[in-house]
Structure 1
C-alpha cells in the first residue's frame, strides 16, 4: 500500500534534512576561518604533513615541502615553535612581514588573508604554530569554486522538496475535494455510486475511505429507496381497510337499529385488520432501527419457546422441532425470535391439518441455518425471487396476511449479515431458511 503516512513522513524528513544542511552551510560560511582551514586543499592537511617531514626528514625537507605548496597553491607559510622562533625559513618574505607589522587600523587592507593554527605532534608532543597567508584573488577564486557544490545541492534539494510537497499537497487536497462533492451530493440525495470509483481504486488511506464511503452511500440510498417504497406500499395497504371502514360507517349511519347491529362485527373485523397491519409495519421498522448491542443467543430454548407459542395460537397445527444440541451464536435474540415466529405464522396459514410443520436448526460451516417447512401448495417458481419484499403476496394468497412476515424475517437475517432463502421443497410444500453467521457483520 502506498500509504499517505509515508509520503507525509518523507516530506517532513526531507524538510528536516534541508534545514540541517542549510544550518551547516550557514554555520561554515559565518565562521570563515574554520571553513577555509577545513576545506581549502592547500592547507587542510598541511600541518600534519609538514610536521611528519620535519620530525622524520629534517628542516630542509620541511622547507622544500612548503615551497612546493606555495608554487601550487600560492599560499605563504611560516612555522614557529612554542617560543615564537621560526623553525624553518618559510615562504613569507621578510619585507612583507615587516610591512604587515607596520600596518595600523584604518589603513588600506593587506592583499592577503592571515590565518593561524596550532598543531601538536602525536609523536613528540611538541606544539607548532603555523601562519598561513592566502592572497585575496586566490581565496576569492577558491570561494567561488567551493560554493558550487553546496549551492547546487541546496538548489536541487529545494526543487525536490518543492515538487514533493506539491505532490503530497495535491494527493491530499484533490481527494478531499472529491469527498466534499460526494458528501454534498449525498446530502442533496443526488449521489452517484460511481462518482468515487476512481478515488476508491487508490491504494492508500483515501482509497479505503472512498470505498467505505461508497458502501455507506449505497446503503443510505438503498435505505432511502426502501423507505420511500415502504411509504408508498403502506399508503396503498392502509387505503383498503380505511375505505372499508368508511363504507361500513356510512351504512351504519343510514341503517336501522337491527341492520346496525349486523354491521358492528364487520367494523370490529376491519379495525382488527388495521391494527394488525400497523403492528406488522412497526415491527418491520423496528428491525432496521434497533441499535442494541449484539449478545450471546442460545437457539435451543428459543426455538422450543416458539414451538409452545405456536401450539397456543394454532392448536390444530403441530410443530416438530429438530435442532442440534448446543447451537448458539452472537446476535439479537429479539430479532431472531421475531423472524422465526413470522416464518411459523406464514407456515400455519398454508399447512394442511394433520401434517406437521418442520422446524429445524443445524450448523453448516460458519453459519447456523434455521428452516421452517410446511406441506402446503408452495409458490410458483416465477414468484420466489419476490418473496420477502414488503407487501408482496403471491397470486392466490392475497387473503393470507399483509405480505410483511417474510419481509421482517429477511430484514432480521440481513441485520445479522445473513440471508433468507426461500424455495419449494422437493417433496412438496414450501421451505424458508434463515442463514445466520456465528458472528454478525459489524458493518450492518
Structure 2
C-alpha cells in the first residue's frame, strides 16, 4: 500500500505544481510588456498621473515629474503628441536617440535598454499622448528578480497548502483500501469481525458502499462457515448413532444361532434404511447451496394441488385443504419449492389429529407472498420457535421419528427464493410454517 500511497500523492502534487508553475511562467513570458507596464512601480498608472499633472499644472511640472522618475527608477520617458512631436523635453538624451536610430538599422546589434510604449487619451481634453519608456537591462533584471519574489512566495505557500490537501486526499483513498485489505486478510483467516469496517461503512462515498457490501458478504461467509462447521459436527453425531447400532447388530449376528440371526436381519435392514434416509436428507440440504441455474415461473396452483394429492395418497387418514388466491405467482425453482413444502406437509402429518384437514394456502399479505402449512396439533413452545429450522434440531417434546433436517431444508429453500421461513403458533390452535417471499422476488 505504501507504493500506491506515494504514487497517488506524487501524481496529485506534481500535477498541481506543474499547472501552477506553468501558468505563472507562461503568463510572464507571453505578456512581458504588459507585465512590466502593470507591475513596475514607476510605470504603474504613469500615463494618467502625467497627463493630469500636465493639463493642470503645465509643462514644467510635468517635466519635473519625469525627472524625478528618472532619478528614482533609472529609466527615460518621452511623451509625443498625435503629430509625433515631443510635448515636453522628456529625459531621453538626443545622443541616445541618435544611437538608438543607428542600432535599429542594424538588427543584429541589440539595444542596451528595453523600449516600451503606452498610449493614453485624456478624458478632460481628448488629446492622445504616446509615452515611450526606455529601461536599462540591468535595472529591468533587478526589478524582475524582485517582482518575482511575491509570485514565487505565493507559489511556495500554495504548494505547501496543496501538498497538505494532496496528503489528505491520498490518505482518504489509501486508508480505506488498507482497512479493506485487513478485512480481506481476516476473512481469509476466518477471523473476520463485522465491526472492523463499521466506521468505514458510515462514509457516504463509494468506499462506504463498498464497506457496507463487504460487511454483508463477510457476515454471510462467516455464517456459512459457521453453519458448515456446525453441520459437520451434527452430521458426525447423527451418523454415529445408526452406525453404532449397526455394529452392535452385526456383533450379535456373528455370535447368534441361525434362527436368532434371521430375527436380526430386519433390524439391520431398518438401520440401513435410516442411515440411507439420513444421508439423503443431508445431501438434499447440501444441494440447496449449489448453483441450480436461473429461476423460472412456478405454477403455484398446480404445485399445491400436486402436493395435496401426494400427501393424501401417502396418508389415507389425513386430508389437505388447498386455498390459492387468484393471481399469485412466483419465480424460482419448482423442484426446490416442492421439496420444501413436502417437508412442511410431512412435519404437519406427524402432529395433525385425524379428522381435521391440514391447511395449505398461498396468499398475498403486506405485499409479500405467503405459502403456509397449518396443522391442528399442540404447537411449539415459544422458547423453541426461534431454534426451529436449524439442522438436526428437534423440539424437546417431539417424539415423532426424524432427524431435524426437514425444516432446515425448507428454510434453506425459502432463503434461496429470496425469502425466509416463519414459524408461529396459530391463535386458534395448531402450528403454522410459512414461506414468505417479498414482492420484489415475485415474477
State the TM bucket, normalised to the shorter chain. 0.7 to 0.9
What is the 5 A alignment of 1:378-389?
378-389=379-390
| 2:256 paired residue number | 255
- What corresponds to 1:179 in structure 2? 180
**Partner SS, residue 353 of structure 1:** coil
Say which of 61, 65, 70 aligns to 1:68: 65
1:114 partnered with 2:111: no
Give me the whole-angstrom Cα distance separating, in 2, the residues matched to 1:114 and 1:420.
91
Determine whether 1:397 maps to 2:398: yes
The size of the alignment, in residue pairs, is 422
Q: Distance in 2 between matches of 1:190 and 1:17?
A: 42
Moved more, 363-372 or 381-390: 381-390
CA distance in structure 1 between the aligned counterparts of 2:59 and 2:240, rounded to whole angstroms: 118
Distance 1:69 1:84 in 2: 19
Q: Please tell me whether the aligned partners of residues 367 and 435 of structure 1 are also in contact (alpha carbons under 8 angstroms).
A: yes
- 2:3 corresponds in structure 1 to none
After the TM superposition, which residues 318-337 of structure 1 pair with which residues of structure 2 at under 5 Å, given as runs? 318-337=319-338
Separation in 2 of the partners of 1:393 and 1:142? 95
After TM superposition, list the pairs within 5 Å mapping 1:290-301 onto structure 2.
290-301=291-302
Partner of 1:3: none
Query: For 1:152 and 1:284, how far apart are their aligned partners in 2?
Result: 73
- Evaluate the alpha carbon distance shift between residue 127 and residue 278 of structure 1 in structure 2; reply closer, same or farther with a 3 A threshold: same
In the other structure, the counterpart of 2:407 is 406
Q: TM-score, normalised by structure 1?
A: 0.81
Alignment of 1:261-280 (within 5 A): 261-280=262-281
Residue 277 of structure 1, CA deviation: 0.8
Report the alpha carbon displacement of residue 62 of structure 1 after superposing the two structures with TM.
Answer: 7.9
Pair 24,421 (structure 1): closer, same or farther in 2 beyond 3 Å = closer
**Gaps in structure 2 of 5+ consecutive residues:** 1-7
- Preserved contact between residue 66 and residue 77 of structure 1 (Cα < 8 Å): no
Residues 149-160 of structure 1: pairs in structure 2 closer than 5 A = 149-160=150-161
1:133-148 aligned at under 5 Å gives the runs: 133-134=134-135, 139=140, 142-148=143-149
Shift of 1:302: 1.8
Please give the alpha-carbon distance, in whole angstroms, between the structure 1 residues aligned to 2:327 and 2:220: 35
| Match of residue 363 from structure 1 | 364
* 8 Å Cα contact 1:413/1:420 also seen in 2: yes
CA distance 1:118–1:33, change in 2 (3 Å): closer
Would the alpha carbon gap of residues 233 and 97 (structure 1) be closer, same or farther in structure 2, given more than 3 Å must change? Answer: same
Counterpart of 2:379 in 1: which secondary structure?
A: coil
Instruction: Identify the residue that residue 40 of structure 2 maps to in structure 1.
Output: 40
Which of 367-376 and 377-386 deviates more?
377-386
Per the alignment, residue 4 of structure 1 pairs with none
Question: Which residue matches 2:202?
Answer: 201
Question: Gapped runs of 5+ residues in structure 1?
Answer: 1-7
Q: What is the rounded CA distance, in whole Å, between the counterparts of 2:165 and 2:358 in structure 1? A: 70
1:15/1:331 CA distance change after superposition, 3 Å: farther
Asked if structure 1 preserves the Cα contact closer than 8 Å seen for 2:201 and 2:209, the reply is: yes
How far is 1:36 from its partner?
A: 1.8
The residue aligned with 1:25 is 24
Q: Deviations along 1:344-370, whole A, 9 cap, x unmatched? A: 011112222222111112111221111
- Residues in 2 aligned to 1:181 and 1:304: alpha-carbon distance in whole angstroms: 53
The Cα RMSD (Å) is 3.8
Shift of 1:312: 2.4
Report the CA distance shift for 1:348/1:423 in structure 2 as closer, same or farther (over 3 A): same
- Mapped to 1, the partners of 2:417 and 2:207 lie a distance apart of 28
Change over 3 Å in CA distance of 1:378–1:52 after alignment to 2: same
Q: CA deviation at 1:49?
A: 8.8
Alpha-carbon distance in structure 1 between the residues aligned to 2:378 and 2:85 = 126
TM-score (norm 2): 0.81
Deviations 1:56-76 (A, max 9, x none): x7xx96896565345346442
The DSSP-based 3-state class of the residue aligned with 1:377 is coil
What is the match of residue 349 of structure 2? Answer: 348
